[in-house]
Amino acid sequence: MLVLLLLSWIIPATAADIQSIWFEKWAIFSAREKNGIYKWNTLLTALIIVEIPWQICFYTIIYLCSYWTVGFPNNPTLAGFQYFMFLLLSFFGTGYSYLLAALFPNATMASYANSLFWVLLMLFSGVLVPHSAMNTFYKPWLFWADPMRYFFGGSVANILHGVKAKCSSGDFTLFDPPSGQTCAEYASSFLASSTGYLDNPNSTAQCAYCPYTTGDDYTATLDYYYKDKWRDFAVFLGFCLTNVACLYIIMWFRQGKSQR
Q: In this structure, which amino acid lies at residue 190?
A: F
Q: Which of 99, 95, 111 is nearest to 16 (CA)?
A: 111
User: Where residue 34 falls among pLDDT bands split at 50, 70, 90?
Assistant: low
- pLDDT value for 28: 86
Whether 260 shows a pLDDT value over 80: the answer reads no
Q: Is 222 left (phi over 0), alpha (psi -120 to 50) or beta?
A: alpha
Whether 32 shows a pLDDT value over 80: the answer reads no
pLDDT tens-place string over residues 94-104: 999 999 999 99
pTM as predicted: 0.90
The domain ranges of the chain are 2-164+216-259, 169-210
**What would the mean pLDDT of 130-136 be, rounded to a whole number?**
89
Q: How many H helices and E strands in the chain? A: 10, 3
Whether 154 shows a pLDDT value over 80: the answer reads yes
Mean pLDDT over the full length of the chain = 91
What proportion of the chain, given as a percentage, has pLDDT over 70?
Answer: 96
CA–CA separation, 148 and 240 (whole Å): 11
pLDDT tens-place string over residues 37-56: 778 889 999 999 999 999 99
**What would the mean pLDDT of 13-31 be, rounded to a whole number?**
90
